[in-house]
Amino acid sequence: MTAEVAVLGAGMHPWGKWGRGFAEYGTAAARAALADAGLNWRDVGSIVGADTVRGGYPGHVAGATFAKALGWQGARVASVYAACASGAQAIATARAQILAGLADVVLVVGADAAPKGFFRPAGGDRPDDPDWLRFRLLGATNPAYFGLYARRRMALHGDTPEDFALVKVKNAALGALNPYARYRKRVTAEEVAASAVVADPLRLLDICATSDGGAALVLCSLDFARRHGAARPVRIRAVSTVTPRFPSTVLDLPDIATDSAAAVEPPGETFRASIARTAYEEAGIGPEDLSLAEVYDLSTALELQWYEDLGLCGKGEGAKLLREGETAPGGRIPVNTSGGLASFGEAVPAQAIAQVCELTWQLRNAAGDRQIPGARVGITANQGLFGHGSSVIVVR
């Protein structure tokens, strides 16, 4: 087992379409996390920003942008870009600094002001960029890939659009209880079925929206936490940031084709499954030890896929686990108690951090109406573009 770091503070800016700059959301989240930790910004030895990037050039560089907004105080700084895994890689960077003794207290911040509609590459001809190519040649948006996965599940496992809708119903009911969520209304299966098809078989309410939002964490060494009076802090026990293994045979964002398995047999597990397995190995626990999970429900169907990749059930049994209520509050392993991306929408660099905020509040028994009684161990999982994925295990 590796050494642990403590989560001393967690904070968010409410998600939505607020029409302001990302620095404002991130700074608000950072101040909330510092207040939650009972620390002053001047106590922070290092700040790590999760970057937002449009078209390969970030404009603002997140770490320094937040540090300036909070007031230059000489802290060590780093910025991380890894698409949807940016937040988790920012956490990984902070953890490494703490474990290496480079800093006692690290502030991790991610925030975004997302454009309306589909994510897209910036302008200009960039035919060496696979993300640009998939739009130029195929018009293949992110929901198109989610549609491919959903249809594949229907063909392989017999999932139905009604199963997918139940994921939205579950997550919307939880989001209705979360003051930080963008959507705070319960949704019925009929409403999902009545929404427009975006990428067959997925409908508008099967797919997460783009949003503004921010999330932040104050991480520190266990020694510092003890000196600060936190005898039993929530702790991060594992951060997995693995890449796929060749040949990666599941078509993934933003690729036009998979690797070929002509020369080498594919690994026994998919990339998504390897992300979770690595986290379990690092934490020295297994899926049977989990109290809850926060997974990337970019689409309803993708949440079912994560159940299997996290080992919550066998292959092809995701929809069954859902139908039996096991992933809802009161079930064996509640998933997306925050309301998930279904209720938050995507604010790319913030969302992997927001997942850890939710686990922190749940493990502190401070999640209000959506509290899972006796929550002790939680996992997050996400996946971004270009072979980025990550998973964080948090324990109490």
Partner 1 sequence: MSRTRTPAVSGWFTGEGDRFRLLGTRCSSCASVFFPREDGHCRNPHCAGGALEEVPLSRKGRIWSYTDSRYRPPSPYVSDPELPWEPYALIAVELESERIVVLGQAVPGVTVTDLTVGMEVEVVPGVLDEDAETTWTTWHWRPTGVTA
- Whole-angstrom Cα distance, residue 6 to residue 132? 40
Find the part of the chain contacting partner 1 (CB under 8 A) among 151-159, 168-176, 273-281, 364-372.
151-159
The answer to the question of residue 314 lying near partner 1 (CB under 8 A) is no
Segment contacting partner 1 by CB under 8 A, of 37-45, 74-82, 140-148, 320-328:
140-148
Q: Is 268 in the site for partner 1 (CB under 8 A)?
A: no
Q: Tell me, what amino acid is at 272?
A: R
Q: Using the rule CB under 8 A, is 344 a contact of partner 1?
A: no
Residue 152 is encoded by which pair of tokens?
């594949």
**Of these, 17, 76, 152, 332, which contacts partner 1 (CB under 8 A)?**
152
Q: Which is nearer to partner 1, 269 or 324 (CB)?
A: 269
Non-local CB neighbours of 99 within 8 Å, separated by 6+ positions: 2, 3, 5
Q: Whose Cβ is closer to partner 1: residue 40's or residue 258's?
A: 258
For 384, the token pair is 């971004």
**Under the criterion CB under 8 A, does residue 176 sit at the interface with partner 1?**
no
Amino acid (one-letter) located at 254: P
Q: Which own/partner pairs from 39-45 qualify as long-range (CB within 8 Å, at least 24 positions apart)?
A: 39/8, 39/9, 39/105, 39/218, 39/228, 41/70, 41/71, 41/73, 41/107, 42/73, 43/105, 44/73, 44/75, 44/105, 44/106, 44/107, 44/218, 45/75, 45/76, 45/102, 45/103, 45/104, 45/105, 45/106
Least Å distance between CB 249 and partner 1?
7
> Which tokens hold the place of 48?
């790590």
Contact residue for partner 1 among 199, 298, 328, 341 (CB under 8 A): 199
From the list 106-114, 257-265, 278-286, 292-300, the region that binds partner 1 by CB under 8 A is 257-265
147 binds partner 1 (CB under 8 A): yes
Nearest residue (CB) to partner 1, 38 versus 118: 118
Looking at residues 98 to 127 of the shown chain, list those that interact with partner 1 (rule: CB under 8 A): 117-118, 120-121, 123, 125, 127
Considering only 40, 59, 186, 200, the residue that binds partner 1 (CB under 8 A) is 200
Amino acid at 294: E
Q: Give whichever of 255 and 309 is closer to partner 1, judged by the CB atom.
A: 255
Sign for the CA dihedral angle at 145, 387, 310, 373 comes to negative
Tell me the closest approach of the beta carbon of residue 36 to partner 1, in angstroms: 38
155 binds partner 1 (CB under 8 A): yes
Does the protein bind partner 1 through residue 320 (CB under 8 A)? Answer: no
Q: Binding to partner 1 by residue 138, rule CB under 8 A?
A: yes
- Does residue 139 touch partner 1 according to CB under 8 A? yes
DSSP string, 24-37: HHHHHHHHHHHHHH
Instruction: Name the residue nearer to partner 1 (CB basis): 99 or 156.
Output: 156
Whole-number Å distance between alpha carbons of 223 and 231: 10
* Residue 190 interacts with partner 1 (CB under 8 A): yes or no: no
First CA to last CA distance, the chain: 15
**Residue placing its CB nearer to partner 1 in the complex, 35 or 118:** 118
Looking at the Cβ atoms of 100 and 263, the one nearer to partner 1 is 263
Other residues' Cβ atoms within 10 Å of the Cβ of residue 143: 20
| 196 binding partner 1? (CB under 8 A) | yes
Residue 247 makes contact with partner 1 by CB under 8 A: yes
Q: Are strands 197-199 and 202-203 parallel, antiparallel or unpaired?
A: antiparallel
Location of structure tokens 């939710």:
358
Residue type for position 390: S
Q: Is residue 57 involved in binding partner 1 (CB under 8 A)?
A: no
Give the interface with partner 1 as residue ranges (CB under 8 A).
Answer: 117-118, 120-121, 123, 125, 127, 132-141, 144, 147-152, 155-156, 196-202, 246-247, 249, 251, 255-264
